[in-house]
Amino acid sequence: MGKLLIVGSIAIDEIETPFGETGRILGGAATFIGLAANQFEISSGIVSIVGEDLPKEYLSLLKERHIDLSGVEVVKGGKTFYWKGRYHNDMNTRDTLVTELNTLADFNPIVPNHFKDADVVMLGNLNPSVQMGVINQMEQRPKLIILDTMNFWMDNALNDLLDVIKKIDVITINDEEARQLTNEYSLVKAAEKIHEMGPKYVVIKKGEHGALLFHEKDIFFAPALPLEEVFDPTGAGDTFAGGFAGYLTATNDISFENMKNAIIYGSNLASFSVEKFGTERMQNLKKEEIDKRLHQFKALTQFNIELE
């Protein structure tokens, strides 16, 4: 059974959308990544930090899904990372109303010994120094290191981020971040520049417009499934990353051809996560639903054409 190490936040979110308000609910990159990766036959563990204020049932929920939490530090008297945001009517733009790093501000990750030989490492969106700290603790180089990051770190810790990018195999960022990182508007040129920074594979997420996978001169595009309703986009990118990493861990195949499948699996799972607030949809997802939607993805993209 493949082994996946997930590094990221377990958080308390509060979300406002045109469909309503949630109050305080479970969130965080590692949470969404873990719930998505959990759909595959793998051994997974999370490295994160939380405060005593995090409801115990949130950690129990992850444990019940056989996600190893021995790498999650609970700080006595501490407060968990908190984020509050409001989405606009188009559901593509949002305003961050409150960000409280709390325990995450002084996070010193400690990888459990039994995950220092993980096959795949998924570095969720965190301070690059934390991500590097995890890479340096691995006993051997993982078969695959996947990095997710965002424009905040490009603005505030670019040199540290570039050092991490040199060490990884796959980077997943959105189109705006790819353009900022490279100063290239063309995503093809942006991917070429990112390749030169270190990663063999570049995944550029385009939200409701799908995702692009670049490897040397090869390009693959995966659409996003058109949905009737989107309730909450929070965590969709992390769910995508979890599906992508989980599938590659389960199949033990990191070829470009198999990464195409991983992109589809990630997109498929992300399409579920937006249908309810927070993690609700991912908590109750059934294998039959996943398989049915995979057929929809296949039908959406498959065509026959005779070429000379």
For the stretch 278-302, pLDDT in tens is: 999 999 999 999 999 999 988 888 8
The lowest-confidence range among 54-58, 64-68, 90-94, 269-273 is 90-94
Band of the pLDDT at 307, cuts 50, 70, 90? confident
Which two structure tokens, joined as six digits, stand for 168? 């990884």
Band of the pLDDT at 50, cuts 50, 70, 90? very high
Give residue-wise pLDDT tens across range 65-115.
999 999 999 999 999 999 999 999 888 788 999 999 999 999 999 999 999
pTM, to two decimals: 0.96
The dihedrals phi and psi of 148, each to the nearest 5 degrees, come to -115, 140
Q: What is the pLDDT of residue 169?
A: 98
CA distance 161 to 195: 15
| Buried-state track 98-129, b at ≥16 Cβ within 10 A, e below 16 | eeeebbbeebebebbeebeebbbbbbbbbbbb
CA distance 100 to 53: 13
Band of the pLDDT at 201, cuts 50, 70, 90? very high
Band of the pLDDT at 303, cuts 50, 70, 90? confident
Q: Please check the confidence at residue 162 and state whether its pLDDT lies above 90.
A: yes
